[in-house]
Structure 1
Amino acid sequence: MITKKQLKNKVKQIPFVQKILFQRNKKRFQLNFKKEVYKNPPAYIFQMGKVGSSSAFHSIKNQYHGMCIRSHWFSDKESDLHVKALYNLYQKEKFPIKIISMVREPISRNISAFFQNFERDTGTKYKDHNFSLQQLQELFLKNYKHEMPLTWLDDTIKAIFGIDVYEMPFPESGYKTYQNGPIELLLYKHDVDDATKEKIISDYLQIPNFKLSNINMGAAKEYAVTYKEFINLKMPHSYLDAMLNSKYTKHFYTSDIYKIRQKWSS
């Protein structure tokens, strides 16, 4: 004889019942999400990737009294349900969001992203490759989308939230806050020291005694040794010109351009 619990489970397997349950759970999630968003402005770690966001994200998530969300893009096509929910709600209602983003010297950032997406940009899994350093550099220069960090702020922060970070000079302190209506943005350099990051995030999100967790994501990567050798290679002058003459680099690394060129030039 079938039990009540077994019957209930069988009913749940019926397609139209599954659809009803899915819609009910979706509605419940959206209502709870909206309630949390209006209770405390969400901390949104919105960044281009490979800028040191992991430590900030995990630390804020554990210490902030509101929701903490992280992504590289802002759309309803994101796989993360919280990013999708934030996007869909923002299209209907303009509510406060406390965005945190980071910038990084573009050559170092692109190399880090190239290794993170090794198979995509080389056509081979890292464990199966037998490329020399010179061959890897050729693949990096040919296949990676180098303009991505140069345009990301305009393509996202400006286009979506109406904040043009290039309107005013970027301070030597390495960080700056911006605001457009209910949207706030804290933007800081990847290489700002941890004590400064803790102070500015603490002030921005009103987290007393905020501390960053030391999350070293790179040390355990399978490509760590090759990556370390790769970053000692010199880059072609044409590539350096494209990266260092960009609006992005001139804005955020004005006083460092000569030093960066010397580091990477042959």
Structure 2
Amino acid sequence: MSTYLTLKKHLQNQAIYHIHNLNSEHFSKIWETMQLEKHYHAFTFGHSCMTKYLSEHIEEIKNQKNIKIITGVREPIARNISWFFQVIHCQSVFPEFFIKYQEGLITMDEIIKKFWSQKFVYGKQFDWFEEELQPVFGIDIASIDFPKEKGYAIANFPDRNIDLLVLKLEKLDSCLKEALETFLGVENLDCERLDRADFLEADDYLIYDNLRKSLTFSDEYLEEIYDQPLVRHFYTDEEINKFKLKWSSQR
């Protein structure tokens, strides 16, 4: 989100979108679910309408415009906790979660149990590249060299009129400004970093922080998650060992 806000501020004459889905077939299923649930925030609905339009017109856009894609990776467990908290109020998780939690109708034990019931917590990580980037743009992320210490990679596909920037979120403080200026061919970007606390009310952030500190992970789970090829494609052995140590210490 902080990258999106930076671009909107400095490139006001450009069409800039913050979306998660480009695969029209995939998003149509999400859209159908939304229509059935009828339980979503106004911002979420507006965001989804834009996503629906772009995903349905992506082939037309690809033939007319130079497309610059900026995407990021985040270590899997932190990413999964963050994503779970983003959808925690949905009908399929805890409808009206924040009200019910404040009223004592939902406990932290119930939240943790629900976290472990989510499919994205298990299995393949970084599946966005396989489900969205590759089928829509024909880009195999594993074939792109990623400088792990540098924290970002730029790949150009002139035959497809596409430029791609991949950022490692753990390196944003040191690489975001350089990466964006190099990728966009601009200077003097004022890159403002925003943390989770900037997007949540104080009480909601306390719930998120409590959840993050309450979850525990077995050695077997840590090995399964961090030994996956794409995780090792983006992260050094030292980084992975630090992640394992961080989450294994919560026991």
- Shorter-chain TM-score: which interval? 0.7 to 0.9
Does residue 212 of the first structure (1) align with residue 191 of the second (2)?
A: yes
* 1:249 aligned partner, one-letter code: V
How far did 1:217 drift?
Answer: 4.9
The corresponding residue for 2:120 is: 145
**3-state SS of the aligned residue for 2:142?**
coil
- Once the two structures are superposed, the pairs formed by residues 95-244 of structure 1 within 5 Å of their partners are 95-120=65-90, 122-124=93-95, 125-129=97-101, 130-146=105-121, 147=123, 149-171=125-147, 172-180=149-157, 181=159, 182-219=161-198, 220-221=200-201, 222-233=203-214, 234-244=216-226
TM-superposed CA distance for 1:74, in Å, is: 0.9
Give the equivalent residue in structure 2 for 1:38. none
Q: Contact 2:124–2:228 (CA<8 Å) still a contact in 1? A: no
CA contact (8 A) 1:55 1:213 kept: yes
Equivalent position SS for 2:7: helix
Q: 1:231 to 1:67 in 2, by over 3 A?
A: same
| 8 Å CA contact 2:23, 2:136 repeated in 1 | no
Rg (Cα) greater in structure: 1
Q: Deviations over 1:169-195 (max 9, x none)?
A: 421211101122211100010121335
- With over 3 angstroms needed to count, the CA separation of the structure-2 counterparts of 1:237 and 1:94, relative to structure 1, is farther
The whole-number CA distance in structure 2 between the counterparts of 1:264 and 1:133 is 18
Instruction: Report how many residues are paired.
Output: 212
Provide the C-alpha distance between the structure 2 equivalents of 1:98 and 1:169, rounded to a whole number of angstroms.
Answer: 18
Cα 1:94–1:248 change in 2 (3 A) is farther
Amino acid across the alignment from 1:239: Y
Deviation at 1:248, TM superposition (A): 2.2
Look up the SS of the partner of 2:167 in the other structure.
Answer: strand
Distance in 1 of aligned mates of 2:120 and 2:209? 21
Structure 1 residue runs without a partner (length 5+): 1-53
2:67–2:162 CA contact under 8 A, matched in 1: yes
Query: SS of 1:127's equivalent?
Result: helix
Question: 1:71-86 maps to which residues of 2 (within 5 A)?
Answer: 71-75=19-23, 79-80=49-50, 83-84=54-55
Cα distance, 1:132 vs structure 2: 3.3
Deviation at residue 85 of structure 1 after TM alignment: 7.0
Match of 2:39? none
Q: Runs of 4 or more off by more than 6 Å in structure 1? A: none
Give the TM-score, by structure 1 length. 0.71
CA contact (8 A) 2:10 2:189 kept: yes
How far residue 161 of structure 1 moved from its aligned partner, in angstroms, is: 1.2
Q: Is the CA contact 1:244–1:250 (under 8 Å) kept in the aligned structure 2?
A: yes
State the superposition RMSD in angstroms.
Answer: 2.4
Aligned to 2:241: 258
CA distance in 2, matches of 1:259, 1:184: 32
User: Is 1:245 the counterpart of 2:227 in the alignment?
Assistant: yes
Q: Which has the higher contact order (CA 8 A, sep 6+)?
A: 2
Decide whether the 8 Å contact of 2:73 with 2:126 is kept in 1.
Answer: no
| Change beyond 3 A, Cα 1:152–1:75 | closer
Cα 1:217–1:226, aligned 2, differ >3 Å: closer, same or farther?
closer
Map of 1:19 onto structure 2: none
Larger mean Cα displacement after TM superposition, 141-150 or 108-117:
141-150
Q: Which moved more, 1:57-66 or 1:183-192?
A: 57-66
**How far does residue 228 in structure 1 lie from its aligned partner after superposition?**
1.1
Shift of residue 148, structure 1, vs aligned partner:
6.8
User: Structure 1 pair 85/218, CA: closer, same or farther in 2 (3 Å)?
Assistant: farther
